[in-house]
Amino acid sequence: MILVTGGLGFIGSHIALSLLARGQEIVIVDNLANSTLQTLERLEYISGMYIPFAKLDVRNTPALNKVFEQYSIDTVIHTASFKSLEESNLKPLEYYNDNVSSIMSLLRAMQRMGVRQLINMSSLAVYGKSDAELTEETEFNYNYPNPYVRTQQMVENIIADTYRVDHEWKIVNLRLSNIVGAFEHGVLGEYVTQLPKNIVPLALQVAAMQRDCIELQNQAETDDGTVERSFLHVLDVCDAVLATLNWFTTQQGCLESFNIAHDQMTSIQVLLDEVSKVTQTEVRVQPAVYQHQELAQLGAKIEKAERILNWSPKRPLSQMIEDEWRFYLNTLKGN
C-alpha cells in the first residue's frame, strides 16, 4: 500500500488517481490547507473505489504513526508542502515550519515502522540558480535569498543525512518544474482559490472574466522581459512517479535525484499568449515591478531521467492549457 501525503492537492490527487488506475492500493493524508474534500469525492467517483483518508497534518507525528499502524504501508509519496516562491517571501516562518517539520516528522514515522521507500516531490528551484539547463550535478546555491528555495534545500539535505547512516532506504527526489494541466476528462484538476498562487489559474480567471487583469513583471533578463519556465503536464509527473516505482523494484538501497521537466522553455508572456489562444479571449496584463529577487530562467536537462527511468514528457503546452481550461470551466458550471 502507498501513502500519499498531500494527496488531495493538485499534484497529489493526480498521482493518487494514476496509482488507482493501475490497481494500486493507496491511503491519503491531507490537512486540507490547500485542498478540499470535494477532491476526495471526485477521486472516488472516477475510480469507483473507496479511498482510505485521514485528515491530519504530517507534522503531527503521533497521528501519522497511527496511520502507519493501521495500514500496511510500504511506500510513501510526499507531496505535502507549501510551494510558492513569492508567498514564501511574505510568510517565511510558515514555510520553514511546514516544509522542514513535515519531512522530519514523516521520516521519523517511516523509520519507526520500518518503511524505507520514499518519493519526495522536490523542485527545480532547489538549485537556487537561474539557468535554462540545470543538471542533477549542479551544486545548490545556498545563498539564494528565498525561504521556499532554502526549505527545499534543507529537506533534501535531511533526506541525504538520513540515507547516509542507513543504506536500506530507497529514496528519490523528483525535482519538478512548473506543473500545469489536469486530468483529460475535466473532472479532476487544480483547486483554484479566489487568489491563486500559480500563473495559469490567474490567467484562466482573467479569461473567464472573474479577474480584470494579471500583474506581469517584465524586467527579467530574457528575450521578452518575462521570466522563463519549463511547464510540465501533471500527468507527465504521474508517469515519472510510476517510472520511479518501477525502478525501485531493481534497487537494493538508493538515494537519487531526477530533474522532471519539459525540455522546452516558455516565457510567461508566451504562456499567456497560449492561454489567450486556447480560451479565445484576451488575457489582459498590467506592468508590475519586482518586489523580490526572481529567477529569470528555470529549466533543466532531463537526460538522467530519460536514461535511468526511461521517462520523458509527452504532452505539449497547448494540451496543458486545454486540459486545465476544460476543468476550470466545469468547476464554474458546478460540475
How far is it, in rounded angstroms, from Cα 127 to Cα 144? 9
Instruction: Name which residue leads in pLDDT, 29 or 199.
Output: 29
pLDDT band at 333 (very low <50, low <70, confident <90, very high): confident
Q: What is the pLDDT of residues 214-259, one digit of tens each?
A: 999 888 889 999 999 999 999 999 999 999 999 999 999 999 999 9
For 234-311, where are the E strands, in sequence order? 254-260, 265-267, 285-288, 297-300
Per DSSP bridges, beta strands 26-30 and 2-5 are parallel
* pLDDT at 292 (0 to 100): 73
Region for 36 from its dihedrals, namely left if φ exceeds 0, alpha if ψ lies in -120 to 50, beta otherwise: beta
CB 187 within 8 A of CB 327: yes
- Residue among 148, 163, 191, 328 flagged as catalytic: 148
Which 3-state string (H, E, C) describes 178-211?
A: EEECCCCCCCCCCCCCCCCCCHHHHHHHHHCCCC
Q: Residue 38: CB partners within 8 Å, gap ≥ 6?
A: 191
pLDDT of residue 197 exceeding 90 = no
Exposure class string for 184-193: b at 16+ Cβ within 10 A, else e: eebbbbbbbe
- CATH numbers and ranges of domains, the chain: 2-180+233-261+295-313 (3.40.50.720)
Does 148 participate in catalysis according to the annotation? yes
Percent of the chain's residues with pLDDT above 70? 99
CA–CA separation, 38 and 208 (whole Å): 22
Whole-model pTM: value is 0.96
Question: Cα(237)–Cα(233) distance, rounded to whole angstroms?
Answer: 7
Query: What is the band of 335 on the pLDDT scale with cuts at 50, 70, 90?
Result: low
- 31-34-40 Cα angle (round to 5): 70
Confidence bin at 191 (pLDDT 50/70/90)? confident
- pLDDT of the residue at 275: 97
| pLDDT bracket for residue 265 (50, 70, 90) | very high
Instruction: Render pLDDT for 129-167 as a digit per residue (tens, 0 to 9).
Output: 999 999 999 999 999 999 999 999 999 999 999 999 999
Cell matching residue 131: 539557468
